[in-house]
Amino acid sequence: MSEVTVKQLASTVGIPVERLLTQLNEAGISASGADATLTEQEKLQLLGYLRRSHGKEEDESAAAPSQVTLKRKSVSELRQPTAAPRTSTTGVRPPPPPRGSKTVSVEVRRKRTYVKRADEPATGAPAAAPTTTAPRRSSNEPRNRPSRERSSPSGSVFDESRRRTELQGLRAEQEARRLAEVEEQDRLAREAEVRRREAEEARRLAEIAAADARHQAEMEAAARKPPEPEVVAQVDEKETEETSRRADAAKPKKAVKKAPEPVEKERAAKKVVRKEPVRVREIEVAARSDYEEVDGAGGGRGPRRRKKAPKPQLQDKHVFQRPTSPVVREVSIPDSLSVAELANRMSVKGSEVIKALFKQGMMVTINQQLDRETAMIVVEVLGHKAILADERDAEGTLIDEVQEQEGQFTPMPRPPVVTIMGHVDHGKTSLLDYIRSTRVASGEAGGITQHIGAYHVETEKGTVSFLDTPGHAAFSAMRARGAKVTDIVVLVVAADDGVMPQTAEAIQHARAAGVPLIVAVNKMDKPDANPDKVMQELTQYQVLTEEWGGDTMLVKVSAKTGVGIDELLDAILLQAEVLELTAPRDGPARGAIVESSLDKGRGPVATVLVQAGTLRRGDIIVSGGEYGRVRAMFDESGAPVESAGPSIPVQVLGLSGTPNAGDDVMTVTDERRAREVAEFRSARSRQSRFDEQRGVSLDQLFLQLKDGEQKAVNLIIKADVQGSLEALKDSLLKLTNDEVRVAIVASGVGGITESDANLAVTSNAILLGFNVRADAAARRVVEEKGLDLRYYSIIYELIDEVKQAISGLLSPIVTEEIIGLAQVRDVFRSSKFGAIAGCMVVEGVIRRNSPIRVLRNNVVIYEGALESLRRFKDDLGEVKHGMECGIGVKNYNDVQPGDQIEVFERTERARVL
């Protein structure tokens, strides 16, 4: 910008080029034209010329003020941190920098000139000047007077022209001055604007820096230890006060400078205070999340420590998060479960399961029971993992627990539990009644001895418990339910009657149960009593009394007179000693149901025979499919009791229903568990109705019995007459051979009774009736348990059928016959069929579906089956002797020329006796 052309200067100044050229000439600067360049020197020269003219004018204007110039100076201050960039030096006087920041004084000078506007048109229209000179002149007269005075002596044309020139020069001068003024104003305005912007920028930067410092201070404070909000506020207030006091004492300038600091600090303090609730909220969230986590583990609530709040993301914890991978659950599958339950276990909707099953071709309803296999398929289809549930689940674990607990307590001798059996009218009831009436203390409380199905008697030598259900029907029924309650069987035989069919049955039952017998020969008071005959008859049933050199005790009693009852009790206790009956007295009770009924007033009533531990009032028990808390207990005399030890029968109130005789009884720690086990059992018994738990049948024998063992066929034979029975028994027993053993569990004369059927259940036997039929009760058991019951009227038919059944048990005779032989001539390799042996059938016939052997040098190198049998392009079922064929051996590609392929057939023939 040091050199400009005349034209540029003219446009900058805003006057025509010609006038500028004139002015330049007047200033003594030679400018050739519009494009001539002007040096800085020349410009200054022009300015000097113009100023000189202006100076003259100024002097004149003082005399006649046609214009007024106003000057104003304003001083302001800016505070600026040291880090901030320096402000422009123009018009800025840098003050001594204070600590941490510096204050800048800004001085703004303004000069404004007001010109009398009456002259403006003349100034603005120089072209019209000559015509309007007069008024102008008059107006300008005072200013121009000196020059006119100077020029007045002339008065010539020259003077006129000179005056005109002067006038022009004057105008030019005015113009230049105006321009200069405008220029000056613009410059000042620009400078002021620049300063203002700079100051603004500085302030902004200062604020940012202050905010940074504040933030850092906060961060540091938070990192150290979060101060108590009140304390922080107080400290800040103190600081504020202190600062303001200092500010008051200091110069106003300093006060101005210091003022923002407390404000900032206060704001910072406020921020801390404001921040506190946020933190509290965080802690609350953290505590809650702790609680949730710990809750799952069964623990308590976590402490409200800030340290415990692990991550700031905790606040997002409650926001739903889309799972990133499918949730695979482990689903335990019991034997059977409903669609709804399966859906529940997989945490899916029931409709999902129904849909999945529908796709598998099964139409099910939500409550339909699914078997294990189907359920597992559904679980796999829906992408979860099926796990076989422990079939014994709740029940199994409970039984294990009870056994384990029992093992923890020392076993003590316990009273024997006795069942009385014998033929009808031989005096079982009489015997029991006699013992009870004489031995059981009549209830002091109730007065009336109750029939609760069992009772116990105290003797000098010990206690004996009797099951008060005479006959082997009950005995077998209980055994059929798996309850082994009886320790000793007392077989009552009337001395005047001897061994009768039911006596024999009783022996069989006792033997099947592995329970020792004590024979009580009753009605000894009768004149025709003949105990020797009884003993003799018993030998037929392999019951040898001690008198006769055996090990069975025999006591002669009379239920009428009471003779021998003590001896009988002694014998029982002696036998018990031999048996070394023990059970823990302490610990939870385990027992069996003797009988149960529904009492109108008292609800379900069950007689429990405690077998181990002690049953107490208030215990929670589970029995079969029922459970409940023992509300009250009574003994056989009707007196309430608090507890019952091993082998003691008690009547129990409080069960949810009536369990079956023979069901087990277990004490459970909590009711929920009892309910679980009971429900599990109920569900299982429901299920078992679907499952045909068929008893053994002749047809199934072969399938049911395992190989390698000696197979046994258990039979129960009932016949119309003793003669037939003996004949049958002899013939059947002769069928026993090395592989199959025929065992006659029970036999007798008369119809098939319920006890026969129960015995068949427990001993897995087949019921055979020769000219006899089963009674209604027996048929019901046969039906329920799916027993095999057969009637015959011809002896050899019965024997033949059993023979056939047993034959089925014999392993069949397998014979092998070679039906064809082919010679391998060549081997072709086919990408489709593998190795194909080109053969000539040299013997017999080659059958496509028969097993084969590959022989090399007459040694078997492979045994298997044929993959293909072809002749030319045709697949054939068989190829006959003398024909060529292509043979592909299944899973074997190593056939070589010269090998032989032998085709054989196996024939199985059942073995007959």
Binding site for ligand GDP (CB under 6 A): 422, 424-430, 470, 522-523, 525-526, 558-560
What three-state secondary structure class fits 174? helix
* Residue among 795, 783, 787, 719 at smallest CA distance from 751: 719
Say how many C-beta atoms besides its own lie within 10 A of residue 737's C-beta: 13
Residue 754's nearest CA partner among 477, 503, 486, 507 is 477
CB of 602 to ligand GDP, least distance (A): 28
Cα distances (Å, whole numbers) of residue 39 to 29, 48, 53, 556: 10, 14, 21, 163
DSSP H or E segment with residue 76: strand 67-81
CA distance 662 to 479: 7
By the 8 A CB rule, do 756 and 744 touch?
Answer: no
For the beta sheet containing 789-792, the strands, ordered from the edge strand earlier in sequence to the opposite edge, are 740-749, 711-719, 766-770, 789-792
The three-state (H, E, C) secondary structure of 211-241, written as one string: HHHHHHHHHHHHHHCCCCHHHHHHHHHHHHH
Compare residues 23 and 558 and give the one whose CB is closer to ligand GDP: 558
Please name the residues in contact with 472: beta carbons below 8 A apart, sequence gap of 6 or more: 421, 502, 505, 506, 509, 755
Look up tokens 């190198």; give the residue.
Answer: 861
Q: Cα–Cα distance between 427 and 435 in angstroms, integer?
A: 12
Three-state DSSP class for residue 412: strand
User: Minimum Å distance from CB 563 to ligand GDP?
Assistant: 8
Residues 6+ apart with CB under 8 A from 496: 523, 526, 528, 529, 530
The full 3-state SS of 135-170, as one line of letters, equals HHHHHHHHHHHHHHHHHCCCCCHHHHHHHHHHHHHH
User: CB 472 → ligand GDP: shortest distance, Å?
Assistant: 11
Minimal distance, residue 442 CB to ligand GDP, in Å: 20
Nearest-angstrom CA–CA distance, 451 and 659: 18
Task: Look at the block and give the residue holding tokens 């009580």.
Answer: 520
Q: How far is the CB of 424 from ligand GDP (least distance, A)?
A: 5
Minimum CB distance to ligand GDP, residue 496 (Å)? 8
Distance of closest approach, residue 613 Cβ to ligand GDP, in angstroms: 33
Contacts of 440 (CB under 8 A, 6+ apart): 449, 455, 456, 457, 636, 637
Task: Give the CA distances from residue 531 to residues 84, 420, 524, in Å, rounded to whole numbers and listed in that order.
Answer: 133, 18, 8
Closer to ligand GDP at the Cβ: 232 or 495? 495
Signed CA dihedral, 584, 586, 589, 591: sign only: positive
What is the smallest separation between the CB atom of 595 and ligand GDP, expressed in angstroms? 17
In the complex with ligand GDP, the residue whose CB is nearer, 78 or 594, is 594
In whole angstroms, how close is the CB of 492 to ligand GDP at the nearest point?
A: 6
| Residue 532 C-beta: closest distance to ligand GDP, Å | 18
* Least Cβ distance, residue 706 to ligand GDP (angstroms): 42
Quote the least distance from Cβ 334 to ligand GDP, whole Å. Answer: 46
* 285: Cβ contacts below 8 Å, ≥ 6 apart: 309, 314, 315, 317
Nearer to ligand GDP by C-beta: 491 or 576? 491
Q: Kindly state the smallest distance separating residue 470's Cβ from ligand GDP, in Å.
A: 5
Residue type, 321: Q
Residue 54 near residue 173 (C-beta atoms within 8 A): yes
Tokens read off for 316: 């997002």
Q: CB-wise, 247 or 494, nearer to ligand GDP? A: 494
3-state helix, strand, coil in the chain (%, to 5): 45, 25, 30
Spatial contact of 846 and 903, defined as CB atoms under 8 Å apart: yes
Minimum CB separation from ligand GDP for residue 432, in Å?
Answer: 8
State the minimum distance, in angstroms, from the CB of residue 491 to ligand GDP.
11
Q: Compare residues 54 and 428 and give the one whose CB is closer to ligand GDP.
A: 428
The DSSP annotation for 39-66 comes to: -HHHHHHHHHHHHHHHHHHHHHHHHS-S
Length of the chain: 913
Left if phi > 0, otherwise alpha if psi is -120 to 50, otherwise beta: which for 834? left
Least separation, in Å, of the C-beta of 509 and ligand GDP?
Answer: 15
Which residues are 28's β-sheet partners? none
Closer CB to ligand GDP, residue 493 or residue 674? 493
Question: In terms of CB distance, is 471 or 587 closer to ligand GDP?
Answer: 471
* Smallest distance, ligand GDP to C-beta of residue 494, A: 7
Residue 467's DSSP bridge partners are 419, 454
Residue closer to ligand GDP by CB (options 56, 526) is 526
| Residue closest to ligand GDP when measured from CB atoms | 427
Which of left, alpha, beta for 623 (phi over 0: left; psi -120 to 50: alpha)?
A: beta
Q: What is the helix (H) or strand (E) element at residue 802, kind and residue range? A: helix 795-809
Tell the smallest beta-carbon distance from residue 552 to ligand GDP (Å).
20
